[in-house]
Chains A and B, each alone.
Chain A
Amino acid sequence: MSRLLIKHGRVVDPTQRLDEGLSVLIVDGKVARLAERIEDKDAQVIDATGLVVAPGFIDVHVHLREPGFEYKETIATGVAAAVAGGFTAVCCMPNTQPPNDSAAVTEFIRARAAEAGLARVYPVGAVSKGLEGEELAEVGEMVRAGAVAFSDDGRPVHNAYLMRRVLEYTQLFDVPVVDHCEDPTLVAKGVMHEGAVATRLGLRGIPAAAEEVMVARDVVLAELTGGRVHIAHLSTRGALDRVREGKARGAAVTCEVTPHHLALTDQAVADTSFDTDTKMNPPLRSPEHVEALIQGVLDGTVDCLATDHAPHHADEKALEYDLAPFGVVGLETAVPVTYDLLVRKHKLPLRLFVALWSSNPARLFKLPGGSLKVGSPADVTLLDLNARATVNPDRFRSLSRNTPFAGQRLKGWPGATVVGGKVVWRRERK
């Protein structure tokens, strides 16, 4: 019997409306007891004095790049980055090579994840064969193999007929369809948010409307079909309004927002003078959109946070702005970036912050975890809210370094990560 005792922490668990000083006893990978004082001579002890003890954080949107792009990231380095960032579970997108559009690839990912240990990995399967947007992939086979959601992420499900049918068909399995919303004809050759900054820099813009027309369509199709649409990396005011309206009408539409879309604006492209680590899709938006997103988090329209962790090799990013690939890593900066911004600056209650990273994504994707109720899987994220540190990409566990947050001094970092009752990562104390 393995026993772990997390002592004297501040337990914050939205699923039990808990925010109090408690100790947590874990036996055989499950939460066994919560009480003010627990003594257990046989247990390994973590002294959590001064730390927050929360249900394990879940990132529902990462790219682990394996199979196919192991020079950017592997499942092993990806989960190492996850636990170092305070995450106990991740959902990985299917745009690998080959793409995860079959049970065989889903099984491969799960087998690799099992070998790597550390964080739990939940594969997201492709909506369409080869991510080509034409034929429905074998969704049911992938569910059997462990897929928890479906997406053609990296691309939208452009064909509305296909989107309609997948929203219908997936109801057999009660899994969400995650859509990367953009109309490619409106994106054209855009590389950053369309607005005054792009105009001044002479870079081609991606209008907010490119995202909004697709979100509007998805909300309409969610209502038509009754299927569950989850909008990936929502980034504009108008898209948020469409989601808010859809929810008000009872559509099964949810959304996530990334740390970088909340913490940075398109001005970062100018301020860094074309640093390609500011290039991602959707692009960093202008302040009016960013303010709307923060408001959406505060008022509960935003269901969860997710990183869209998108590793790219330094050689790929060391190109002209137009030629560099879209995407930034996020797993190892997400918690401090969002804590600093949302809780410290915008006074989001800590309980809601924890919910956005744990219980909410667990509920949306129907994942085990996200709770510290007795009997739950013992996935725990410990937060050291007083820790201050500077983002140093050289110390990332991820294979890639493409972060727009390098050099930022942030407060509120993960302190330790526990998966299935095992301490898989602890912050080095100075």
Chain B
Amino acid sequence: MTVKAAPRLRGKDLVGIDPLSPGEIQLILDTAEQMRDIAQRPIKKVPALRGKTVVNLFMEASTRTRFSFEVAEKRLSADSLNFSASASSVSKGETLLDTALNLEAMQPDFIVLRHQYAGAPHQLARILKSSVINAGDGAHEHPTQALLDALTIRLKRQTLEGQVVAIVGDLQHSRVVRSNILLLSRMGAKVRVAGPPSLIPVGMDAMGCEVYRRMEEAIAGADVVMMLRIQLERQGRMNFPTVREYYDFYALTPERLKLAKKDCLVMHPGPMNRGVEIDSRVADGPQSVILEQVTNGVAVRMAVLYLLAGGNGEPAAD
């Protein structure tokens, strides 16, 4: 299966991986590879989005994703505005819709939305004229994360096809796992997921993956192991016993990593809980590409902004 890049993105928005065709995914990844070069230049800036305005509307705490978008916007010469929930009128009782309509009245070209509830970007995308980019909605999707993960794998392995990718952790509450299953399976990778049975949502296999309870089975022979953050802040006290016990059964330790292929890549979307889902010896070890993921995040977000602004996959000129 060789996926041919689509000539352009069909929609005005990027609300998730689910609506994307393999060709569109390929286009974003190809474009992102070219965007990576910009960061290597002495002047890390191109005028591709000069005169465009991007609102980063972050209704849920985020450092990495917001910074990554901001860097991407600046490298493309867009004007960025940051709007975060704590500083906003949300606390005064304004609805998301009203907030978005007010921001749109200032005529931005993009709204990058991070929101704690699933579907919020989809609801806004229906109503707004600006392009909506989903920067994570509840436990639903985090498309730019999956794209940067795919780019990271592709850069190391040249292709996604046939790669065995094991994703381990809290499957129930993770948007990263959902976007990754959709993207990787669509691009011909073999996806396995594993987590505590009490945190495996019903019917996840229907999204395009094999579901395991024991992480050892999932990572056996894997090309890539991706660990998910245990979202301690989202857990009640009934889903699994303790962080200590979680480490015993689901942490990626050097011993467990030996079950995977010798050159298996270790990934984590961050922020990591060291000593909970991942052992520092693995996180900082030679197989880890965790910081490369962060670097690639900027390139992927540049590509998405550039393509949604009407770019056709040609490299951004100076």
A residues contacting B by CB (< 8 A) are 194-205, 273-274, 315, 318-323
Q: Could you say which residues of chain B place their CB within 8 Å of the CB of A203?
A: 118-119, 138-140
Which of B1-9, B202-210, B224-232, B280-288 interfaces with chain A?
A: B202-210
Check A199–B96 contact: CB distance below 8 A.
no
The 4 closest A-B pairs by CB, nearest first: A196-B203, A202-B140, A274-B119, A202-B139
Q: Measured between alpha carbons, how far is A318 from B126 in the docked complex, in Å?
A: 12
Check B97–A202 contact: CB distance below 8 A.
no
Beyond A274-B122, A323-B117, whether A200 also contacts B96 by CB under 8 A is: no
Excluding A198-B201, A319-B97, A323-B117, 6 further A-B contacts by CB distance (< 8 Å) are: A199-B203, A200-B18, A202-B141, A203-B118, A274-B123, A321-B119
Q: Measured between alpha carbons, how far is A197 from B178 in the docked complex, in Å?
A: 12
Q: Could you say which residues of chain A place their CB within 8 Å of the CB of B137?
A: 202
Q: Measured between alpha carbons, how far is A201 from B139 in the docked complex, in Å?
A: 8
Beyond A202-B138, A202-B139, A320-B96, whether A274 also contacts B201 by CB under 8 A is: no
Q: Measured between C-beta atoms, what is the minimum distance from A190 to chain B in Å?
A: 12
Beyond A200-B206, A202-B175, whether A320 also contacts B140 by CB under 8 A is: no
CB of B192 within 8 A of chain A? no
CB within 8 Å of A: which B98-134 residues? 115, 117-120, 122-123, 126
Check A201–B119 contact: CB distance below 8 A.
yes
Beyond A201-B119, A202-B175, A322-B117, whether A273 also contacts B202 by CB under 8 A is: no
Of B123, B178, B202, the residue contacting A202 (CB under 8 A) is: B178
A201, A273, A320 — most chain B CB neighbours (10 Å) = A320
Q: Measured between alpha carbons, how far is A378 from B30 in the docked complex, in Å?
A: 73
Chain B residue nearest to A185 (CB atoms) is B238
Q: Could you say which residues of chain A place their CB within 8 Å of the CB of B62?
A: none
Main secondary structure of the interface of B (DSSP, over half): mixed
Q: Measured between alpha carbons, how far is A194 from B200 in the docked complex, in Å?
A: 12
Q: Measured between C-beta atoms, what is the minimum distance from A241 to chain B in Å?
A: 20
Q: Measured between C-beta atoms, what is the minimum distance from B208 to chain A in Å?
A: 10
Q: Measured between alpha carbons, how far is A76 from B95 in the docked complex, in Å?
A: 30
**Can you offer 8 A-B residue contacts whose CB atoms are under 8 A?**
A199-B202, A200-B206, A201-B118, A202-B118, A274-B118, A274-B123, A315-B95, A320-B115
Of A196, A204, A320, the residue contacting B123 (CB under 8 A) is: A320
Q: Could you say which residues of chain B place their CB within 8 Å of the CB of A319?
A: 95-97
Check A321–B117 contact: CB distance below 8 A.
yes
Q: Measured between alpha carbons, how far is A255 from B186 in the docked complex, in Å?
A: 44
Q: Could you say which residues of chain A place their CB within 8 Å of the CB of B203?
A: 195-197, 199-200
Beyond A202-B138, A202-B140, A202-B175, whether A322 also contacts B204 by CB under 8 A is: no
Check B140–A201 contact: CB distance below 8 A.
yes
Chain A residue nearest to B207 (CB atoms) is A200
Beyond A274-B123, A320-B123, A323-B117, whether A205 also contacts B201 by CB under 8 A is: yes
Q: Could you say which residues of chain A place their CB within 8 Å of the CB of B18?
A: 200
Q: Measured between C-beta atoms, what is the minimum distance from B184 to chain A in Å?
A: 15
- Per the CB 8 Å criterion, the residue count for chain B at the interface is 25
Q: Could you say which residues of chain A place their CB within 8 Å of the CB of B201?
A: 198-199, 205
Q: Measured between alpha carbons, how far is A187 from B52 in the docked complex, in Å?
A: 45
Q: Could you say which residues of chain B place their CB within 8 Å of the CB of A201?
A: 118-119, 140
Check B206–A196 contact: CB distance below 8 A.
yes
Q: Measured between C-beta atoms, what is the minimum distance from A189 to chain B in Å?
A: 10
Of B96, B122, B206, B207, the residue contacting A273 (CB under 8 A) is: B122
Q: Could you say which residues of chain A place their CB within 8 Å of the CB of B97?
A: 318-319
Q: Measured between alpha carbons, how far is A131 from B256 in the docked complex, in Å?
A: 54
Of A199, A315, A321, the residue contacting B207 (CB under 8 A) is: A199
Q: Measured between C-beta atoms, what is the minimum distance from A210 to chain B in Å?
A: 13
Q: Measured between alpha carbons, how far is A200 from B172 in the docked complex, in Å?
A: 10
Q: Measured between alpha carbons, how far is A273 from B15 in the docked complex, in Å?
A: 11
Chain B residue nearest to A320 (CB atoms) is B117
Chain B residue nearest to A194 (CB atoms) is B202
Q: Measured between alpha carbons, how far is A134 from B235 in the docked complex, in Å?
A: 30
Check A196–B202 contact: CB distance below 8 A.
yes
Q: Could you say which residues of chain A place their CB within 8 Å of the CB of B202?
A: 194-196, 198-199, 205
Q: Measured between alpha carbons, how far is A205 from B120 in the docked complex, in Å?
A: 17
* Per-residue A-contact encoding for B132-166, CB less than 8 Å = 1, 0 else: 00000111110000000000000000000000000
Of A194, A196, A315, A322, the residue contacting B138 (CB under 8 A) is: A322
Q: Measured between alpha carbons, how far is A200 from B119 in the docked complex, in Å?
A: 11
Q: Measured between C-beta atoms, what is the minimum distance from A49 to chain B in Å?
A: 45
Q: Measured between alpha carbons, how far is A195 from B206 in the docked complex, in Å?
A: 10
Chain A residue nearest to B95 (CB atoms) is A319
Q: Could you say which residues of chain B place their CB within 8 Å of the CB of A202?
A: 118, 137-141, 175, 178
Check B96–A321 contact: CB distance below 8 A.
no
Q: Measured between alpha carbons, how far is A311 from B32 in the docked complex, in Å?
A: 48
Q: Could you say which residues of chain B place their CB within 8 Å of the CB of A197?
A: 203
CB within 8 Å of A: which B178-204 residues? 178, 201-204
Q: Measured between C-beta atoms, what is the minimum distance from B100 to chain A in Å?
A: 11
Q: Could you say which residues of chain B place their CB within 8 Å of the CB of A318?
A: 95, 97
Chain B residue nearest to A269 (CB atoms) is B119
Q: Could you say which residues of chain B place their CB within 8 Å of the CB of A195?
A: 202-203
Q: Measured between C-beta atoms, what is the minimum distance from A283 to chain B in Å?
A: 13
Of A200, A204, A321, the residue contacting B178 (CB under 8 A) is: A200
B117, B120, B138, B141 — most chain A CB neighbours (10 Å) = B117
Beyond A200-B178, A202-B137, A319-B96, whether A273 also contacts B119 by CB under 8 A is: yes
CB within 8 Å of A: which B13-70 residues? 18
Q: Measured between alpha carbons, how far is A320 from B119 in the docked complex, in Å?
A: 7
Chain A residue nearest to B171 (CB atoms) is A199
Chain B residue nearest to A322 (CB atoms) is B117
Q: Could you say which residues of chain B place their CB within 8 Å of the CB of A323?
A: 117
Q: Measured between alpha carbons, how far is A201 from B175 in the docked complex, in Å?
A: 9
Q: Measured between alpha carbons, how far is A318 from B101 in the docked complex, in Å?
A: 13
Beyond A199-B202, A202-B137, whether A322 also contacts B118 by CB under 8 A is: yes
Q: Could you say which residues of chain A place their CB within 8 Å of the CB of B118?
A: 201-203, 274, 321-322
Q: Measured between C-beta atoms, what is the minimum distance from B311 to chain A in Å?
A: 26
Q: Could you say which residues of chain A place their CB within 8 Å of the CB of B140?
A: 201-203
Q: Measured between alpha carbons, how far is A279 from B85 in the docked complex, in Å?
A: 26
Q: Could you say which residues of chain B place their CB within 8 Å of the CB of A194?
A: 202
Q: Could you say which residues of chain A place their CB within 8 Å of the CB of B119?
A: 201, 203, 273-274, 320-321
Q: Measured between alpha carbons, how far is A200 from B182 in the docked complex, in Å?
A: 9
Chain A residue nearest to B137 (CB atoms) is A202
